[in-house]
């Protein structure tokens, strides 16, 4: 290249470089904030790739037909591949993601922003009923950029929300929106998750396991699900309604996951403060029983009160008698009647078990909950001091 053209190129590059570099004064305040969030948190978001090995499977014959198994050839389930997202939480290489991203995976690899090299990872602990898994990656510490965890209990509707992930395999994609609602779980995730953070920041397949960030770049949720009226190419499409699992829920189980535990639904229930009752929703009762025993329009009918439980100490009462209903297919349904009916907890109407769990979710041992109940047709108020019931 002639020297005069080389000199011109150098001068032009020197002139353009400041314009191409990030110049805070060239952006609006919200733009600056988003760019800073991405620059700060982005290196901690990982691309998760999973693979299952081929498996030989025999037909699952109904009971009584096992003797015919030799007549059926086993078939091979081909290897499956999938992708998702995750984020680094410490310098030891721990990564949070959704359990459904890594469920049944035989091989897990993660990639970091700007590095095409895959690094092996493994599941060290999980809370499947909460759709949370903890990975550990074998990667140089220079690759590990932990993202600080925020406080999802302080999230406000209307505040800024930024999602970073790998939708449809498009690595390191950033979308922005707001927190649209703090919503009781509408059924898009396990019923043990009492509430979800709803956002309009675009979330699509592949975003699962990635972080939902606040304006300080702190993780407030783990992107997990969407509500979609349409499906294209076998995948649901974003329609402005996405859901993230509150990060405080994951924080509650981090120590146990790091210790290698995979927690079951029963262990989760037993580990949290409870009333110590078994219940049935009023709307599960046949209309004839509801009318006969003058049950309220909604609520939870206490079937049984555990001995020594907070409920027993507070004087709550279980069913006095049981009515058995035979179904056409021969099943027998048991409906306890005569017990207290919980219709409200801390001022929140209680229509189903998820409503009650949502109230109890934020409680700690020693906290109290104020229940409004129906007993013998009259409203009463009962204060229960909660405890962990083993």
Q: Catalytic site residues?
A: 100, 131, 208
Closest CA to 302 of 318, 316, 289, 290: 318
Q: How far apart are the first and last CA of the chain?
A: 80
**How many beta carbons lie within 10 A of that of residue 41, not counting itself?**
24
The C-alpha atoms of residue 57 and residue 74 are separated, in whole angstroms, by: 5
**How many beta carbons lie within 10 A of that of residue 92, not counting itself?**
12
With a CB cutoff of 8 Å and minimum separation 6, the contacts of 371 are 316, 342, 344, 345, 381, 382, 383, 384
Helix (H, G, I), strand (E, B) or coil at 82: strand
The C-alpha atoms of residue 316 and residue 302 are separated, in whole angstroms, by: 8
**Beta pairing partners, 333:** 325
CA 252 from centre of chain: 13
Are the C-beta atoms of 224 and 203 separated by less than 8 Å? Answer: no
Strands 94-97 and 107-112: unpaired
Are the C-beta atoms of 93 and 137 separated by less than 8 Å? Answer: yes
- The upper half-sphere exposure of residue 180, i.e. CA atoms within 13 Å in the direction of its Cβ, equals 15
Segments in the chain forming alpha helices (H): 3-20, 29-41, 99-102, 247-252, 254-258, 265-271, 287-292, 310-313, 353-361
The C-alpha atoms of residue 139 and residue 144 are separated, in whole angstroms, by: 8
The C-alpha atoms of residue 293 and residue 252 are separated, in whole angstroms, by: 41
Strands 132-137 and 119-127: antiparallel
- The upper half-sphere exposure of residue 29, i.e. CA atoms within 13 Å in the direction of its Cβ, equals 2
CA 347 from centre of chain: 26
Q: Count of residues for the chain? A: 390
């Amino acid at each position: 290249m002639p020297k005069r053209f080389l000199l011109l190129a150098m001068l032009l590059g020197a002139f353009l470089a400041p314009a191409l570099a990030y110049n805070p004064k060239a952006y609006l305040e919200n733009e600056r904030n988003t760019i800073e969030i991405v620059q700060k948190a982005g290196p901690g978001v990982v691309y998760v790739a999973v693979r299952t090995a081929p498996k030989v499977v025999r037909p699952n014959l109904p009971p009584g037909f096992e003797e015919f198994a030799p007549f059926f050839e086993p078939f091979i389930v081909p290897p499956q591949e999938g992708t998702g997202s995750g984020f680094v939480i410490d310098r030891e290489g721990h990564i949070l993601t959704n359990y459904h991203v890594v469920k049944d995976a035989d091989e897990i690899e993660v990639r970091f922003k700007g590095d095409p090299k895959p690094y092996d990872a493994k599941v060290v602990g999980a809370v499947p009923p909460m759709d949370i898994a903890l990975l550990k990656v074998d990667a140089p510490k220079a690759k590990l950029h932990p993202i600080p965890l925020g406080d999802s209990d302080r999230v406000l509707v209307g505040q800024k929300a930024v999602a970073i992930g790998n939708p449809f395999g498009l690595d390191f994609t950033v979308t922005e929106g707001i927190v649209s609602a703090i919503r009781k779980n509408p059924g898009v995730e396990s019923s043990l998750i009492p509430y979800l953070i709803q956002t309009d920041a675009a979330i699509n397949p592949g975003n699962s396991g990635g972080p939902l960030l606040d304006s300080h770049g702190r993780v407030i949720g783990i992107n997990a699900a969407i509500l979609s009226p349409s499906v294209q190419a076998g995948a649901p499409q974003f329609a402005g309604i996405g859901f993230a699992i509150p990060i405080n829920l994951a924080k509650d189980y981090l120590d146990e996951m790091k210790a290698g535990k995979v927690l079951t639904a029963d262990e989760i229930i037993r580990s949290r403060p409870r009333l110590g009752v078994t219940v049935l929703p009023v709307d599960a009762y046949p209309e004839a029983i509801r009318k006969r025993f003058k049950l309220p329009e909604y609520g939870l009918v206490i079937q049984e009160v555990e001995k020594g439980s907070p409920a027993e100490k507070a004087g709550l009462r279980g069913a006095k008698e049981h009515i058995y209903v035979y179904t056409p297919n021969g099943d027998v349904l048991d409906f306890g009647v005569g017990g207290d009916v919980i219709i409200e907890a801390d001022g929140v109407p209680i229509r189903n078990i998820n409503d009650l769990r949502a109230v109890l979710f934020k409680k700690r041992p020693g906290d109290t909950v104020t229940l409004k109940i129906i007993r013998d047709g009259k409203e009463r108020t009962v204060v229960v001091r909660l405890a962990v019931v083993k």
